[in-house]
Amino acid sequence: MTNYLILKAIKDVKEEQIELRNEIKQFREDQKVFNKEINHLKEENEKLKKENNIIKKELTNIKKELVDVKNEMNWIEKDKKKNRVVVKRLQINTSDTEWNLRTHMKNEYDKLRVMSNKSELRKMGSEKIYIDDYLTKKEREKQKHVAMRAQEEKRKGKLVKIGYSKVIIDGVEWRWNRNSEQLEIHETKN
């Protein structure tokens, strides 16, 4: 009789272990989802902190010092008094093969003026430059995937237009799905 009770107790313990393993497995899956959401919130937080930043990427290996950049900006400021924008701080990042110049604008209005007139600013220098809003590393990777898809479709002869986290291919809008981390067809709500 005692053997029977011992076997029953062992069976009960094994069943509890199985239940606990299943609960632990569920907790781990939930933890992965929460960690992914936390990472997304961290990215959003980083973007909000950098809201007033603009990145100016130069495609050639320019070996100018910060003083040269400030002098050029002073010249532009004197030459274009009506479009004067005050730059609060300059920072050069040379860690990449490209040179990135990050400017911190004095206020949001100056940033909006620069972004709305960026096509004219591109024409001012002899070098080919790009002017973009600040993007986090994850957002830059996402835009890279969008641009690669757009290039691929252009090579096929399709009409392509790129936007932030989206691409329009022959009138069909594809948007970036942050959960699956890929482009998906966007269906309009009608």
CA dist., res. 2 & res. 67, Å (int): 89
Query: Do you know the residue count of the chain?
Result: 190
How many other C-beta atoms lie within 10 A of the C-beta of residue 104? 15
CA dist., res. 156 & res. 138, Å (int): 28
Looking up tokens 């990427």 gives: 57
CA dist., res. 142 & res. 88, Å (int): 29
Q: Beta partners for 177?
A: 182
Each of the 190 residues of the chain gets a pLDDT tens digit; together they read 678 888 888 888 889 889 989 988 998 898 998 889 888 888 887 776 665 554 444 444 444 556 666 676 766 666 554 455 555 555 556 665 555 666 766 667 777 777 777 767 666 665 666 677 777 788 888 888 888 999 999 999 999 988 778 889 998 998 888 888 888 888 765 4
Q: Are strands 129-133 and 53-58 parallel, antiparallel or unpaired?
A: antiparallel
Q: Helix, strand, or coil here: 173?
A: strand
- Burial label for 173, CB within 10 Å (0-12, 13-18, 19+), is middle
Does residue 57 contact residue 87 with C-beta atoms inside 8 Å? no
CA dist., res. 19 & res. 10, Å (int): 14
**Four-CA torsion 152, 154, 159, 164, nearest 10 degrees:** 60
* pTM as predicted: 0.41
CA dist., res. 174 & res. 165, Å (int): 9
Nearest to 75 by CA among 119, 137, 38, 125: 125
How many other C-beta atoms lie within 10 A of the C-beta of residue 168? 17
Tokens describing residue 71: 């002098």
Per-residue model confidence (pLDDT) at position 152 = 92
